[in-house]
Amino acid sequence: MNFEELKEDIRIHFDEDDGSHKLEHTERVYELALKIAKKEKADLEIVKAASLLHDVARAKQSRKECKCHAAEGSIMARTILEQHNFPPEKIEAVCYAIKVHRKSTNIKAETKEAQILQDADRLDALGAITVARVIASGFTEEYKRPVYAKEGESAISYLQYKLLKVTPSSFNTKTGKTLAKRRYSFMKKYVSNFINEWDGKY
């Protein structure tokens, strides 16, 4: 199967005005998932397809055309994969991974490929890109908020929330945990430095 062709074909399903979930996010998740899958000896075809299609219904959710982009995406993925002549015996595994990829739903991923997709998606919520993305989002109408405030919501308070929720120990795979530690450490240090500089401590 030609995965580059699949990537081009799904472009129409992404909202370029969505700062957090444009196709660039999917491309990063794809690369991370592939990196983890090779280390964890998972089925690369399933991981590639699932990571490319995991957010295919995200724009529909934003438009309130579906309640959960993961559940809707698993349905859409089946049709898309059939059109691309993806191995029929692997389609169910791809759809399952997409359906459970949202860690916020607290659904435990039961397959290695689904665990890898969860890890790759959550890794993109940690690190330098996330810091930039969260701060930039504060200047949009949807998430309008200050960069920092002693009280109330701000970009920095949201990063603090992320640090409480997306800890390295919350990842599924050994490789995912290792990659998460580096990103987590950077983000934690950044937030600490920001607050100390804001307060004039150094």
Q: Helices 155-165 & 174-198, crossing angle to 10 degrees? A: 150
Side chain identity at residue 74, one-letter code? S
Say which CATH architecture domain 1-105 belongs to: Orthogonal Bundle (1.10)
User: Euclidean distance between the first and final Cα of the chain, in Å?
Assistant: 54
- Rounded CA-CA distance 48/7 in Å is 10
Scanning the chain, the segments in alpha helix (DSSP H) are 3-9, 23-40, 44-53, 58-62, 69-83, 88-99, 112-123, 128-137, 155-165, 174-198
pLDDT in tens, 119-148: 999 999 999 999 999 999 888 887 889 999
Nearest CA to 77 out of 48, 62, 57, 61 is that of 57
Q: What angle do CA 33, 180, 117 make, to 5 degrees?
A: 25
Say which CATH architecture domain 125-202 belongs to: Up-down Bundle (1.20)
- Rounded CA-CA distance 196/17 in Å is 33
pLDDT in tens, 35-50: 999 999 999 999 999 9
Instruction: Give the start-to-end residue ranges of the domains of the chain.
Output: 1-105, 125-202
- Rounded CA-CA distance 52/96 in Å is 14
pLDDT in tens, 75-112: 999 999 999 999 999 999 999 999 999 977 878 899 99
Burial class (CB in 10 A: 0-12, 13-18, 19+), 129: middle
- The reported pTM is 0.91
pLDDT in tens, 179-191: 999 999 999 999 9
